[in-house]
Chain A
Amino acid sequence: MLRAYAEYWRINFLTLLEYRANFVMWFVFTIVYHGVALGALWVTMRQFPSMNGWAFREMFFLYALWMAGHELHNTLFFTVVSVPDYVREGRFDRFLVRPLDTLFQVLTVPQQIVPDGLILGLATLAVATVAANVRVDWIFMVFVPLIILGGALIDLGISLVVATCSFWFVRVDTIRWVVMSLEQDFTRYPISIYTRGVRIVLAFVLPFAFMNYFPATFFLQKTEVALHLNPAVGLLTPAIGLAWLGAAYGFWLVGLRHYQGTGS
């Protein structure tokens, strides 16, 4: 299975080299997408320099952590987002009759993947790390890659839950769009600005706070952490990611058992 996966990425990479013009267009696309979000934040924080004790450069680091995890998800796992389309068009059924894990097959659907977001995400994180004066020591070097991966797994869990919903309701485009835009909105600010109930949801139910807030409070050495947790919980992101993905995968398996197809 690993060999098949490596081969899949080799082919993706070769395809990418064929379409260089497209590559540039997607770069602009991603830069504008994140640029608008960061631009709005920058303008706002020129007038209001402190957000619950966070300065703009710290907010930038918070955003960059989320961006890196989110873009890693978009690069590695984006085909999960297309599952509702496969279901609606009846193309999903062929995954079920092949002798390989269904999710693995979904993750290796041939497609044109442009890693523009991932490249930009990592570059933004590097810039933000310098801008926010984060100390780059061995803990940073070991944990930040793991935290990005954990963030991507949290995102994958969410995509998987939305995809699984499509086994029951055929049209989930709106749910998908709403979840994606709310994720970006909620993760943009320190969760300490929200009321207690929402903080608990973001920490333990839909653990978006582990994608960026908790790791950022650890690396920025913030003394005040929402929900009075120890700042070191920020290092738990990879474990939370795995656990959350495990739960989502369980839901996916339940969904598969209920799956009946649309008859199309």
Chain B
Amino acid sequence: MNLEPYVEFAKKAFSREATYRIEVLMEIGSLVLRVYILRALWTALYAQNAAPTNLPLHSMITYATIAMLMSLILEVDGTRLIREKIREGTIATDLMKPISVPLYFFSDGFGQTLLHALLVIPSLLCALLLVHIDVAPPATFAAFLLAFVIGYGVNFFLNFLMNCIAFWTLETFAAQLIVRWVSDLLSGQVIPLTLFPGILGRIVFALPFAAIYSTPLLIYVGVIPPDQWAASILAQLLWLVLFAALSSLVWRAASNRVIVQGG
């Protein structure tokens, strides 16, 4: 398959995102303020309570800061385009083009993501003024990166599926935000999933959301030890395959019933 057009789609999306410079600066500014809040929050909590044995204060701050940097990349909904194209009816012409439309959405989303990925470096530097982050050993960092890439895939398909709802009903905005908020909590972005008590803890670890933030982050801070890396990453891969298969089923059903809105 010729990948050249998809590289072009990604480049286009990258430069489109890069035009909003003030937004980009504000994003970094708001991230720094939120890093400040998380430092204040966890410092206060650890000062007055018994710390969990596997997550001392420095690990918790590392966890929360890296979660925030990851969200710069993972909160970009690259497949928003599907919803817009369905509403405007241009999805019909896209389906006629000699390209794989899902792959087009992926490359467009990936291009947007790349720009936001560049923000990670200045954001990290600003965050380091406020907090100290543990540096993981190279092997751990490599495992973290691998888990992060798989988590990115799971997140992509989750967004893809949510946006595909627009093929059936045009009111998807509320449903999408609801899933986004629930996923923020259950994926371990807001708080580590290890804090969930008893049966709740077992449930959240069994859900697909855990593959997005929790697995890479727990690998990074050492809660998932090296001998369990393979099992955790395998679980992520299972979710990835499952979501990909589901997405391709939904996509096939959806493209069979394109409703043009007379855009």
Q: A residues engaging B (CB < 8 A)?
A: 25-26, 28-29, 32-33, 36, 39-40, 43-44, 46-53, 169, 171, 173-175, 178, 181-182, 185-186, 189, 193-195, 198
Q: Can you list 20 residue pairs at the A/B interface with Cβ under 8 Å?
A: A28-B178, A29-B174, A29-B178, A32-B178, A32-B181, A32-B182, A36-B184, A43-B195, A43-B200, A44-B191, A46-B197, A51-B41, A53-B48, A171-B20, A171-B23, A178-B27, A189-B37, A193-B43, A194-B37, A194-B40
In the complex with contacts A32-B178, A36-B182, A50-B49 CB distance below 8 A:
yes
Q: Is the CB of B44 within 8 A of A181?
A: no
Which residues of chain B in 184-208 are interfacial with respect to chain A, using CB atoms and an 8 Å cutoff? 184-185, 190-191, 195-197, 200
CA A198 to CA B34, docked complex, whole Å: 13
A-contact 0/1 string along B123-154, CB 8 Å cutoff: 00000000000000000000000000000000
A50 touches B48 (CB 8 A): yes
Q: Are A193 and B197 in contact (CB under 8 A)?
A: no
Question: Do A185 and B37 touch across chains, with their CB atoms under 8 A apart?
Answer: yes
Question: Judging by beta carbons under 8 Å apart, are A189 and B178 in contact?
Answer: no
| Given A50-B48, A178-B30, A43-B182 contact (CB < 8 Å) | no
| Interchain CB contact (< 8 A) of A40 among B171, B178, B191 | B191
Q: In the docked arrangement, what's the CA distance between A194 and B22, Å? A: 28
**B52 interface residue per 8 A CB criterion:** yes
Decide yes or no whether B92 CB sits under 8 A from chain A.
no
Contact B177 A29 (CB under 8 A): yes
Check B33–A182 contact: CB distance below 8 A.
Answer: yes
B29 at the interface (CB under 8 A from A): yes
Q: Does B26 contact A (CB under 8 A)?
A: yes
| Complex-state Cα separation, A174 to B30, whole angstroms | 10
Q: Are A181 and B30 in contact (CB under 8 A)?
A: yes
Count how many chain B residues have C-beta atoms less than 8 Å from C-beta atoms of the other chain: 34
- Measured between beta carbons, the chain A residues less than 8 angstroms from B41 are 51, 189, 193
CB distance from A210 to the nearest CB of B (A): 19
> Would you list the 8 A-B pairs with minimal beta carbon distance, nearest first?
A48-B45, A193-B44, A48-B49, A174-B23, A178-B30, A36-B181, A193-B40, A50-B48
Q: Which of A29, A36, A194 has the most CB of B within 10 A?
A: A36
Is B9 close to A, CB under 8 A?
A: no
Residues of chain B lying within 8 A (CB to CB) of residue A198: 36, 40
Report the separation of the CA atoms of residues A171 and B19 in the bound assembly, to the nearest whole angstrom.
12
How near does chain A come to B217, taking the closest CB pair, in angstroms? 15
Give per-residue flags for B10-47: 1 if the beta carbon is below 8 A from chain A beta carbons, else 0: 00000000001011001101100110110011011110
Q: Is the CB of B191 within 8 A of A43?
A: yes
Residues of A close to B49: CB separation below 8 A? 47-50
Complex contact A51–B178 (CB within 8 A): no
Contacts of A53 in B (CB 8 A): 48
Chain A residues, CB < 8 A from B45: 44, 48, 51
Minimal Cβ-Cβ distance residue in A for B189: A40
Q: A174-B22, A178-B26 are in contact. Are A44 and B178 (CB under 8 A)?
A: no
CB distance from A114 to the nearest CB of B (A): 11
- Chain B, interface SS category: helix
Tell me the minimal C-beta distance from B145 to chain A in angstroms: 27
Give chain B residues whose Cβ lies under 8 Å from the Cβ of A39.
185
Instruction: From the candidates B27, B43, B185, name the one contacting A174 in the complex (CB within 8 A).
Output: B27
Q: Nearest-CB distance from A99 to chain B (Å)? A: 36
Return the contact of B181 from the options A33, A48, A52, A194 (Cβ within 8 A): A33
Cα A261 to Cα B181 in complex, Å, equals 36
Contact A51 B44 (CB under 8 A): yes
In the complex the two chains form, is A186's CB within 8 Å of B37's CB? yes
With both chains docked as a complex, state the minimum distance between the C-beta of B68 and any C-beta of chain A, in angstroms. Answer: 11
A40 CA to B195 CA, complexed, in Å: 10
Report the nearest B residue to A34, measured CB to CB. Answer: B181
Q: Which residue of B lies closest to A185 (CB)?
A: B37
Complex CA–CA separation, A243 to B216 (angstroms): 48
Known contacts A32-B182, A44-B45, A51-B45; A26 and B174 CB within 8 A of each other = yes
Q: Known pairs A43-B195, A198-B40. 16 more at Cβ < 8 A?
A: A26-B174, A28-B174, A36-B181, A36-B182, A43-B200, A48-B46, A49-B49, A51-B44, A51-B48, A52-B44, A174-B20, A178-B26, A185-B34, A189-B37, A193-B40, A193-B43
Which residues between 150 and 174 of chain B lie within 8 Å of chain A, taking CB atoms?
A: 171, 174
Contacts of A25 in B (CB 8 A): 171, 174
| Contact status of A52 and B182, CB under 8 A, knowing A46-B197, A193-B40 | no
Quick one: closest A residue to B185, CB to CB? A36
Query: Hey, which chain B residues are within 8 Å of A193, CB to CB?
Result: 40-41, 43-44
Chain B residue nearest to A32 (CB atoms) is B178
B196 CB, min distance to chain A CBs, angstroms: 6
Task: Say whether B185 contacts A40, CB under 8 Å.
Answer: yes
- By beta carbon, the residue of chain A nearest B190 is A40
